Structure formats: structure tokens, C-alpha cells
Amino acid sequence: MNNEVYVWASYAVTFALLALEVILLRRRWRRLSR
Amino acid sequence: MKWFWYASPQTFYPLAGRIALWCGIAAVVLTAVGLYIGLVVAPTDAQQGEVYRVIFIHVPAAWMSMFIYVVMAGWAAIGLAFNTRLSAMMAAALAPTGALFTFIALWTGSLWGRPTWGTYWVWDARLTSELILLFLYFGFIALRAAIDEPRRADKAAAVLAIVGVVNVPIIYYSVQWWNTLHQGASVSFTRAPTMAATMVAGMLVMALAFWLYSIAVSLVRVRCMIREST
Amino acid sequence: MLAAARAIVCRDLLVAMRRRSDVALALLFFVIVVSLFPLGVGADPALLHAIGPGVIWVAALLSSMLALGRLFEADHADGTLEQLALGVAPLGVVVVAKAAAHWLLSGLPLVLIAPLLALQYDLPPMLYGVLVLSLLLGTPVLSLVGAIGAALTLGLRGAGVLLALLVLPLFVPVLVLGAGAVEMAAAGLGAEAQLLLLAALLVAAAALAPWAIAAALRISLE
């Protein structure tokens, strides 16, 4: 198995989780501003 | 005197908004720069090839996981000492982000360990104590969630955070105290780094980016909490 | 101060003796858990030698943690705890006394029965000393640190499981050192390092935990 998969998987998981955090926080904010 | 003026949620609210906006923008810019350095500029490693590039996420995330816990415990202590509601809110706002970075550090470390050490996990001192840090974050969040009265929740979680802060030096120094599989410190305040300069630069830029991201996200979360409490 | 501490310890022991089943249950839990592992993993002697110290230590952790539920709940329910918190004796002394009584009831029995369980795992008798000593040093730490968790979760719904989440991560260093001491001795290397570190943990816990327990109690009682 190509070792570089691990690098891409790490970057993908990280930025996906960070994006998720931002999205959930935006939702929370939107719910309060309504 | 100025500090205590901002201790009121109402006055802190607009300030938090402005800081969050600028930190958020800076975080995005620095992430772009950091990724450019890490993925384009930095050379291929002699031993590990391209796999080492996980370091530009793994190390900054690990640094943030410990740093955020200490800051969280600091706000908790201030909240206990001065009995200020906003300090406890800051601690609570930091916890989810800290837990996330701990998880990212563990996850990326695991994905890095597979091709280099041959295994996704070992029970050595640093990995184990980082895992304990994740459980400490969860415990803090769970305790806050379990107590209905806000002030009791603030103070109880504060005591817990302060008790848990002992773990952070253990994580940090674990690679010196025990013979572990995990690599020792390559970046230190006192000695020259033992890595190529571009690699260090990439790590530091990404660390700064993560730091600014954490500030932005935590301040937005505090703003949500201020709104929810009125 | 010492008189108050002695009075509290004696009172807690007396109350516990009147409901001997509680104390016996914790001990029985310890024995049962240790006995379950050979049934689950198979009775291969080499395997049991290897996992024995760890299993005994984990069981000690779990039964110590189970007993924590009894530490403050009963006194809280009938109002005694508020009286103790308002009383003349410093709250730090009160909580140390209660933790000491807790250890005498749930930690010390484990220490005493451990050689019997080591026999079940066919551990060589030369390890008994290290096992007992490690438990002797470690279980008071569990009582003290566990008391912090018990004080924080006082009166909450689902306190039992929450207590486990809060307290087990803090127990891990004790577990690693305690089981590690016995494993070092089994390998023929000295266990001094682990035992000394356990002693250090005990001293640190004895010095710092009372503050945390008292602070947590005050927060939970107001």
C-alpha cells in the first residue's frame, strides 16, 4: 500500500474535522440570531 | 482597570467579535502559507520520504492540545478565584476545540505510526498520556453537562480542570523520562532545532495558524454562550 | 484537629460495620473480577503469569471506584455532611479522615487478600511482597483522588458512570506504576523505581488532594 495515502488521509481527516467544528458553530450561532 | 471592564459579558461581546474576525482571517492565510511550506517547499525526508509531512499537522495539533488545556485550566482558576462568570465561560468555550486537537493529534499520529513504526498504536508514555488528556477533556465537558445549576457547573468543572493540569507536564516530558518509541523533542526553546529549517518553519507557521483558529472559534463559541445565557 | 479526625474515622468505621454487607460486597467484587479473567482468556499458565499483576491492579481500581459512591452520599442524604462542613474542624481534615476510613474499608482489605489472588494466578511467592507493597502504596492514592471525583459528582443523576469517566484517567498513573512494579520484579529487574514513584504519588496526593476535595465539597454543597 502506498505510504503517501497516510499523509493525504491525515490532512483530509484534520481539515474535515476543523470544517465540521466551524459548521456546527455557525449553526449554533444562526439558531441564536433567528 | 481596563481588564475588569471587559470582565462583563456585555462589554466583552463586541470585543470578542472583532478579535474572532481578525484571528479567523489570519488563521486562513497562515494555513495557506503553512501548507505551501509543508507540502511544496519542504524537502523530502532522507529516511521517511513523503510520509513525514504529517508532521505539519500532527505536531502543531499536539502542541495546541496541551496549550489549550493549560489556558482552559488558567481561565478556570481565574473563574474560581475572582468568581467571574465570563472566565468560566472562556474555559468551557475552549474545551471542545482542545478535545478536537487532541483527537487530531492522536489520529494523525496513529496514521503516521502505521507506515513508520508498523503499528497504529503503542501503549508508550506519550501516546497513553495524550489519550488520558482526551479523556480529561471529555470529563470536563461531561461534568459541565451533568450539572444543571450554571454556577455549580462552572466551579466543579474548574476544580476538575485544575486537578487534570498535572497531566500536561507528564505528556510533555514523557519522552525524556521514559524510554519510549515516540521520538524525543527536536524543537526546543534552548537548543537549535535538529531538523531542516524549512520543516521547522512549516511546523511553526501551522502551529500559529492553529492557535489563531482556536482563538477565533473559542471566541465565537463564547459569544454563543453569552447569548444563550441572557 | 487530630481528635476530630479520629472521631470521624471511628464514626465512619462504626457505621460501615453496622452494614457489613457493603464492605463485603466491594471485596467480593474484587475477588470475582479477578476470578473472571482466567475463565475468559483461558487458563494457560504462562498467559496468567503475564496478565496476573495487571488484572489484580485493574480489579483493585474498579472496586475502589465502586466503593467511592458510598463515601459522601449517605452523609449528604441525611444532612451530616453540611454539619461537618460548617463545623469547627477544618474541612481538609474532615475529608482526609473520611478518605482514610474509606481506604480502611475498601483499600486495605484488597491489600490483605491480594496474595490469595496471586495464588490463583500461580504467581511466584517472591512477587507477593512487591504486589502487596505496591497495592499498599497505591490504594490510598486511589481513595484520595477518587474522593475528589466523589465530591464533584455529589448528588448528580448518573453520578456513578460520570464518576468513572472523571476518575479513571486520573487513576492511570497509579495503575501503570503499580502493575509495572510487579512486572519489573517478575522480570528479575528491581521494582524500586516504580515503588518510589508510587510513594511520591502518595505523598503528593496526601498533600494536594485535601484542598481539591474540600473545594469540591463546598461547591457541591452550596
Reported as a single tens digit per residue, the pLDDT across C47-69 is 888 899 999 999 999 999 989 98
pLDDT given at position C135: 95
pLDDT higher than threshold 70 for residue C192: yes
Confidence category of residue B209, pLDDT binned at 50, 70, 90: very high
Tell me if chain B has a CB within 8 Å of the CB of C212: yes
Fold of B12-229: Four Helix Bundle (Hemerythrin (Met), subunit A) (1.20.120)
pLDDT class of B183 with cuts at 50, 70, 90: low
Looking at residue B19, its pLDDT comes to 94
Low-confidence ranges of chain A (pLDDT < 70): 1
8 Å CB contact of B100 and A21: yes
Q: What CA–CA distance (Å, rounded) separates B156 from B143?
A: 8
> Between the CA atoms of B2, B7, B10 and B14, what dihedral angle is there, to the nearest 10 degrees?
60
**pLDDT recorded at residue B186:** 63
Residue of C165, C212, C219 with shortest CB distance to B142: C165
Interface pTM, i.e. ipTM:
0.91
State residue C45's pLDDT score: 87
Task: Supply φ then ψ for residue B157, to 5 degrees.
Answer: -65, -30
CB–CB of B224 and A29 under 8 A? yes
Q: What is the pLDDT of residue B180?
A: 59
Domain boundaries, chain C: 2-221
pLDDT above 70 (res B136)? yes
Smallest CA–CA distance from C149 into chain B, residue? B160
Using CB atoms and an 8 Å cut-off, which of residues 109-148 of chain C contact chain B?
148
Instruction: Check: CB of residue C186 under 8 Å from CB of residue C53.
Output: yes
* pLDDT confidence of residue B181: 60
* DSSP label of B214: H
Q: Where are the domains of chain A?
A: 1-34
Subunits touching A (CB < 8 Å, at least 3 pairs)? B
Q: Is C48 helix (H, G, I), strand (E, B) or coil?
A: helix
What is the per-residue pLDDT for B48? 74
Task: Identify the pLDDT of residue A1.
Answer: 55
pLDDT at B26 over 90: yes
DSSP string, B15-27: HHHHHHHHHHHHH
User: In whole angstroms, how large is the CA radius of gyration of chain A?
Assistant: 15
What per-residue confidence (pLDDT) applies to C143?
94
Which CA distances in Å does C15 have to B185, C73, C105? 53, 13, 11
Indicate if the alpha-carbon torsion angle B169, B170, B172, B173 is positive or negative: positive
The mean predicted confidence, pLDDT, of chain B is 87
C193 vs B215: which has the higher pLDDT: B215
Chain B residues in contact with A28 by the CB 8 A cut-off are 221, 224
Proportion of chain C above pLDDT 70, given as a percent = 100
pLDDT at A28: 93
Euclidean distance between CA atoms C1 and C76, whole angstroms = 22
CB B91 within 8 A of CB B72: yes
Q: Cell numbers of B19, please?
A: 478579535
- What is the rounded CA–CA span in Å between residue B194 and residue B186? 5
Q: Write out pLDDT tens, residues B37-46.
A: 888 887 777 7
B206 or C70: whose pLDDT is higher? B206
On average, the pLDDT of chain C sits at: 90
Q: In this predicted model, what pLDDT tens digit does every residue of B146-174 receive, in sequence order?
A: 999 999 999 999 999 999 998 778 777 77
Chain segment C100-150, per-residue pLDDT in tens: 999 999 999 999 999 999 988 888 888 999 999 999 999 999 999 999 999
**Mean pLDDT on B26-40:** 91
Determine whether the interchain pair B57/A14 forms a contact, defined as Cβ–Cβ distance below 8 Å: yes
pLDDT band, very low/low/confident/very high, at C34 (cuts 50, 70, 90): very high
Q: Which residue is it, cell 471587559?
A: B6
Q: How confident is the model at residue B93, as a pLDDT?
A: 96
Q: What local confidence, expressed as pLDDT, does residue B124 receive? A: 75
Q: Which residue has better confidence, C43 or C99?
A: C99
Give residue C79's pLDDT band: very low, low, confident or very high (50, 70, 90): confident
Contacts of B180 in chain C (CB under 8 A): none
Q: Do chains C and A touch (3 or more CB pairs under 8 A)?
A: no
Backbone conformation region of residue C168, classed left if phi is above 0, alpha if psi is from -120 to 50, else beta: alpha
CA distances from C164 to A26, C124, C169 (A): 33, 32, 9
pLDDT of residue B92: 96
Q: Any chain B CB within 8 A of the CB of C164? A: no
C168 contacts in chain B (CB < 8 Å): 135
pLDDT of residue B167: 77
Chain B touched by C158 (CB under 8 Å): yes
Of residues B141 and B48, more confidence is placed in B141
Q: Distance between CA atoms of C74 and C25, rounded to whole angstroms?
A: 17
